[in-house]
Amino acid sequence: MRNKVIAGNWKMNNSIEESVKLISELKQGLNETDIKVIICPPFTSLETANALIKGSQIELGAQNMHNETSGAFTGEISASMLKSVGCKYVILGHSERRAIFGESNEFINKKVHKALSENLIPILCVGESLEEREKNITKDVVKKQLLVGLDSVSSDQAEGIIIAYEPVWAIGTGKTASPEQAQEVHEFIRTLLEEKYSKETAEKVIIQYGGSVKPENAFELLSQKDIDGALVGGACLKADSFLGIIKAVKN
């Protein structure tokens, strides 16, 4: 049985002071649970966040990283830097990185390999745009993103990776894929993993849903057979809503 994983992607939000406040509220409201809880603050708050979550059940992730170890890459950050401030996870291939910053499947694959080599757990994001869904090519898009993203990743490595399906048209729009729509794509992803690796490996991989997840829709979404958690955006910026999603999973 796969445990549920709820991750909060803060995106470009929260000063250090705001981060301290949010983490304090999360720690206060979080009861002992077997649900894995991850927060992904901006780079500037990672060190502070790591100090604050010590001894709690909250784990730390970053929102992005470069695939090179070091060098002349102004504005970038390396895997070893993330590890040095306590990160265990890193989001890779988020739709905003793909759409706004032009990151290709091949570039994201390089990041996946670098993260794995540094013992960081990738949260590999895949998902289609509204135009692609309307063209009925959701599965083609997701298949390419997933298989290129996992190119040359071994079965053992794949078992430790988290996949996040995020329909781009549902991110920050208030629209949400119906539980049935989300489950269909999650099941498809698991089938692809089974074809690439094995049924045993596919059954071990955590597949999250991301796209306007809120306390009000979390239970129905996360009750689906192949949905193992959520990558939460806007709703993770307020403790009560993020805690509400975690509580919905427990119920």
**pLDDT tens digit sequence for 127-155:** 999 889 989 999 999 999 999 999 999 99
Torsions phi, psi for 90 (to 5 deg): -150, 130
Mean pLDDT value of segment 98-118: 97
Contacts of residue 121, Cβ cutoff 8 Å, sequence gap at least 6 = 88, 89, 90, 115, 160, 161, 162
For the chain, the domain total comes to 1
CATH of the domain at 148: 3.20.20.70
The whole-chain average pLDDT of the chain stands at 95
- Residue 116: pLDDT band (50, 70, 90) is very high
- Residue 249: pLDDT band (50, 70, 90) is confident
- pLDDT of 166 strictly over 90: yes
- Residue 169: pLDDT band (50, 70, 90) is confident
Angle between helices 239-250 and 16-29 (to 10 degrees): 30
pLDDT digits (tens, 9 = 90+) for 203-222: 999 999 998 899 999 999 99
148: exposed, middle or buried (Cβ count in 10 Å: 0-12, 13-18, 19+)? middle
Helix boundaries (H) for the chain: 16-29, 46-53, 79-84, 95-101, 105-117, 130-134, 138-149, 155-158, 179-196, 199-204, 215-222, 239-250
- pLDDT of 189 strictly over 80: yes
- pLDDT of 177 strictly over 90: no
Looking at residue 251, its pLDDT comes to: 60
Mean pLDDT value of segment 229-237: 96
- Rounded Cα distance between 97 and 100, Å, is 6
* This prediction's pTM: 0.96
Task: Give the long-range contacts of residues 43-48, CB within 8 A, separation 24 or more.
Answer: 43/77, 44/15, 44/16, 45/10, 45/14, 45/15, 45/16, 45/19, 46/82, 46/85, 46/86, 46/87, 47/85, 47/86, 48/16, 48/19, 48/20
- Rounded Cα distance between 251 and 249, Å, is 5
Provide the annotated active-site residues: 94, 166
Domain that holds residue 77: 5-250
Mean pLDDT value of segment 87-111: 97
